[in-house]
Structure 1
Amino acid sequence: MRIEVRLIRGQDNIIVEADLVKLAQKHVDDYISRWKDKLTLYEQEDKFWDWEFKLQFVINRQPNREGYAIEYEGETQGLMLIETQMHGSRLVEGKRLVYIDGIASAPSNRQILQRPPRLKGVGSVLLAFARTRSIELGYEGRVGLHSLPGVEKFYESQGMIDLGEDEDYDDLVYFEYGVRRSPT
């Protein structure tokens, strides 16, 4: 699977083509060798995420888990882990959704760490793909996630609905996309 996606190069705002692919060991290796030290140095909240474990023991062993990466010029720019069968919507009782169990952009793409960021739009592209998977699975575009502190405004800017802190999930704020309506 390889889907061409568009990102924006931060230095000159030129649209560039990247690839959204299934998560593979190469992406985990990039995370370990190119991301981890910077995430730790700059005290990013996802610095302890273990993408090696997510790939080997979650995605590769659980059919309801899927992992994806965005590549540009041979380097991993974004990572996402989703769950596709066991989560229900909080907006529409009894309806399933795609749950984002982890989503991350490379440190060089984070405006808080680098101005201008190397690439803009990585998180937005991953969120849009999660909605696409939701539609493919018959969930009408419903997607949910718990946000790390400090990125809630990003999810709000993407049109996700803030459903408040979740005491069962370390008081992280839960966000959800509702049904995606077709243009008429």
Structure 2
Amino acid sequence: MSIDLTQKHADEYSSKWKEQLRLFEQEDKFWDWEFKLQFVISRQPNREGYAVEYKSETQGLMIIETQLHGSRLTPGKRLVYVDSIASAPWNREMIQRPPTYKGVGTALLSFARTRSLELGFEGRVGLHSLPGVERFYDRQGMIDLGEDEDYDDLVYFEYGVWRSSR
């Protein structure tokens, strides 16, 4: 279950995650979650921040944008855009095998889809992937829409309408 991103989560990122991300040359090692919390989420009403905690420890972080992005799969329709998403270093297979908790990123993406439904966007979610995690988004069933030259050539992924299995 995702909860609102707070100062505690940004502090844990700085004190418990950052050095491991740097040591293992992770692509998100320079992200500044303190800045994201103070100057992105708190000052922009279209941005929302969430965290996953287990046993009072931050396991994952995500920021979404809810008003400005449109679907590439369904032009003219809005979507939830995942601005930033990260799993704790000990939950990443490239750092620790087996990961302490598997499925944190999947849970955050699922929450983004639920938030999209709540906003009336029918489960549409989009994001630009760091190169090292493109396979993860493929495995999540997101559609690879290719490199985006307007976004540092990062690959853009999108979930279309979420159809109920009923």
Fold match (TM-score > 0.5): yes
Aligned counterparts of 2:129 and 2:75: Cα–Cα separation in 1: 21
Matches within 5 A, 1:1-184: 5=1, 20-184=2-166
C-alpha separation between the residues in 1 aligned to 2:11 and 2:87?
15
Q: Deviations over 1:89-123 (max 9, x none)?
A: 00011000000000000000000100110000000
Partner SS for 1:56: helix
TM-score (norm 1): 0.89
Percent of aligned pairs with the same residue?
76
| TM-score normalised by length of structure 2 | 0.99
Aligned length: 166
CA distance in 2, matches of 1:92, 1:116: 38
Q: Deviations over 1:130-151 (max 9, x none)?
A: 0000000000000000000011
For 2:102 and 2:50, locate their aligned partners in 1 and report how far apart those are by CA, in whole Å: 18
SS in 2 for 1:70: strand
What is the DSSP-based 3-state SS (H/G/I as helix, E as strand, rest coil) of the residue aligned with 1:87?
Answer: coil
Structure having the higher strand fraction is 1
Residue number in structure 2 paired with 1:14? none
In the alignment, residue 11 of structure 2 is paired with which amino acid? D
Q: Report the structure, 1 or 2, having the larger helix content.
A: 2
Distance 1:143 1:23 in 2: 19
Secondary structure of 1:43's counterpart equals coil
Give the alignment's Cα RMSD to 1 decimal.
0.6
Q: Secondary structure at the match of 1:88?
A: coil
Q: What amino acid maps onto 2:108 in structure 1?
A: L
Gaps of 5+ in 2: none
Unpaired runs of 5+ residues, structure 1, are 6-19
- Report SS of the residue matched to 1:32: helix
Secondary structure of 1:35's aligned partner = helix
Q: Distance in 1 between matches of 2:98 and 2:144?
A: 28
